[in-house]
Structure 1
Amino acid sequence: MATPPVASVPPANQGLEGGQPAPPAPPGTDMTGICFRDQLWLNTYPLDRNLVFDYFALSPFYDWTCNNEQLRMRSIHPLDLSHLSKMAGIEYMLYEVMEPHLFVIRKQKRDGPEKVTPMLTYYVLDGSIYQAPQLCNVFAARVGRALYYISKAFTTAASKLEKIGYVDAENDSAALESKVAKETIDFKEVKRVDHILASLQRKLPPAPPPPPFPEGYVPPHTADAEKGPEGPQSGEPQAPSVDPIIDQGPAKRMKI
């Protein structure tokens, strides 16, 4: 069976009077950002309920002014409740044990045999010592994390909605531009078609002369010219001849 390590007080500066070593300063309240592990100690001694407090005393979480340290100096087991209940002040208590993986140690203030006030909680998990965060800090961290993810979700949704609206606007503008482009006349294409038609017209032979009038046919303007003296005076303007079939002008509607 391995021999438990001997308790030793860490070195400190010598006092001005009497040459007695000054007690080390107690650890800070919030030390949740650090952890302690001594692999050499773990390789030398077993980690169980009898030696876990000696291992915890090596960490920066340990308060050397506690009642447990006074019991260690008197060669009494530091977790002996029969002696701790008769003392007043800061003490550590082994709260929960799951050997050899988990040990929960609670720091509390004792004001009487049955009156204790919990202060902080530490746990030894597979040889690493941590300070458990307070419940208010846990709630604050969870709420802060939830708010962060909610804000991130809203930001992502807003960016996607803006992107969708921008794409729709682009599609609408593209459709409008294509519609306007279709309705707009391309003058270059018109000139090109005119050039092709002109070139084809030049290549075609000239139109044949009109056929002669049949014998005895008198054109309408010639007949009007021969009847000129009998008609109205020549000084009056004559209405131009109108083809009765081709040019009749717009249809006239009856007025009711």
Structure 2
Amino acid sequence: MATTPLPPAVQATQPPAVGASDGLPPPPGTDMTGICFRDQLWLNSYPLDRNLVFDYFALSPFYDWSCNNEQLRSRSIHPLDLSQLTKMTGTEYALSEVMEPHLFVIRKQKRDGPEKVIPMLTYYILDGSIYQAPQLANVFAARIGRALYHISKAFNTAASKLENIGCADAENEDSSSELNITKETVDLKELKRVDHILASLQRKLAPAPAPPPFPEGYAPPASETEKGPDDQQASEQQPPLDPIIDQGPAKRMKY
């Protein structure tokens, strides 16, 4: 990777911090999501691309001057040269994603070996403005808190409406009962119309066929009207027979 010369504007914006024993500013805080950095003068002077984006990031308060990238800058090596960063251990910055010239994602990580890194924080440069990305736990906590707020508000609104509905039902109980009575009344016109339809259908149907004749030698039983008064009295005096007990053992059900 070719070495990128440090712009003069960047060299002039690295004064040692007051009270620092090693001449470096104090390390940035872990939670700086509430601030934003933008240097319009630098953006008007230099192009914002993958070669100069780290120099622009070094101007912001998110930059840690004790990182390995700063050591590479002091030796006139490009601060994002992975071939040099993999040989070092400690805190470093790496360019994660690039969409020139609008979006640059820079990840702060701790390197313990050539292939072992531990992510710490993430920053992104959006159209020249530098922000710190919130941590995933903070995002989940904010989303869950917002969801609980809306759910609680919805339950309160539903409870208030149910109370209003209960009061309205108590007030309109008499009127609703009258409406139910009127709904249950029979409509005579509708009843006559249904009877007319059934009668017309019955006229259209063919008459029922005559019953088949009795076989030869079969005498139909006499009806109750043909019986004499003595027979009717005798039948009325006899108690009804039990189908199981009084019909004899031959007619009982066998199990």
2:24 aligns to what SS in structure 1? coil
In the alignment, structure 1 residue 5 sits paired with structure 2 residue 7: yes
Unpaired runs of 5+ residues, structure 2, are 177-255
In the alignment, structure 1 residue 64 sits paired with structure 2 residue 65: yes
Distance 2:152 2:18 in 1: 52
- Aligned in 2, Cα 1:157/1:25: closer, same or farther, shift over 3 Å? same
Q: Which residue of 2 aligns with 1:243?
A: none
Shift of 1:27: 0.6
Distance 1:97 1:57 in 2: 17
Give a deviation string over 1:51-101, Cα, whole Å, max 9, x none. 110111111111111011111111111111111111111000001111111
- Aligned in 2, Cα 1:30/1:173: closer, same or farther, shift over 3 Å? farther
1:113 aligns to what SS in structure 2? coil
In the alignment, structure 1 residue 35 sits paired with structure 2 residue 40: no
Distance 1:10 1:116 in 2: 30
Which of 1 and 2 has greater Rg?
1
The RMSD of aligned alpha carbons is: 2.2
Indicate conservation of the 8 Å contact 1:108/1:116, yes or no: yes
Indicate conservation of the 8 Å contact 1:12/1:22, yes or no: yes
Distance 2:163 2:19 in 1: 70
Indicate conservation of the 8 Å contact 2:16/2:23, yes or no: no
Code of the residue aligned with 2:139 in structure 1: it is V
Shift of 1:117: 0.9
Give a deviation string over 1:136-162, Cα, whole Å, max 9, x none. 111111111111111111111111111
- Aligned in 2, Cα 1:145/1:14: closer, same or farther, shift over 3 Å? closer
Instruction: Write out aligned runs for 1:40-51 (5 A).
Output: 40-51=41-52
Unpaired runs of 5+ residues, structure 1, are 176-256
Code of the residue aligned with 1:52 in structure 2: it is V
Code of the residue aligned with 1:11 in structure 2: it is P
- Aligned in 2, Cα 1:172/1:90: closer, same or farther, shift over 3 Å? same
| 4+ runs deviating over 4 angstroms | 172-175
Q: Which residue of 1 aligns with 2:55?
A: 54
TM-score, with normalisation over the residues of structure 2? 0.61
Q: Which residue of 2 aligns with 1:192?
A: none
Distance 1:23 1:38 in 2: 21
Indicate conservation of the 8 Å contact 1:13/1:21, yes or no: no
Indicate conservation of the 8 Å contact 2:107/2:119, yes or no: yes
- Aligned in 2, Cα 1:14/1:143: closer, same or farther, shift over 3 Å? closer
- Aligned in 2, Cα 1:164/1:74: closer, same or farther, shift over 3 Å? same
Q: Which residue of 2 aligns with 1:139?
A: 140
1:130 aligns to what SS in structure 2? strand
Shift of 1:21: 5.0
Code of the residue aligned with 1:66 in structure 2: it is C
Shift of 1:42: 1.2
Q: Which residue of 2 aligns with 1:97?
A: 98
Indicate conservation of the 8 Å contact 1:4/1:45, yes or no: no
Shift of 1:174: 9.6
Give a deviation string over 1:196-219, Cα, whole Å, max 9, x none. xxxxxxxxxxxxxxxxxxxxxxxx
TM-score, with normalisation over the residues of structure 1? 0.61
Distance 1:173 1:52 in 2: 77
Indicate conservation of the 8 Å contact 1:12/1:21, yes or no: no
1:166 aligns to what SS in structure 2? helix
Code of the residue aligned with 1:5 in structure 2: it is P
Code of the residue aligned with 1:112 in structure 2: it is G
Percent identity reads 79
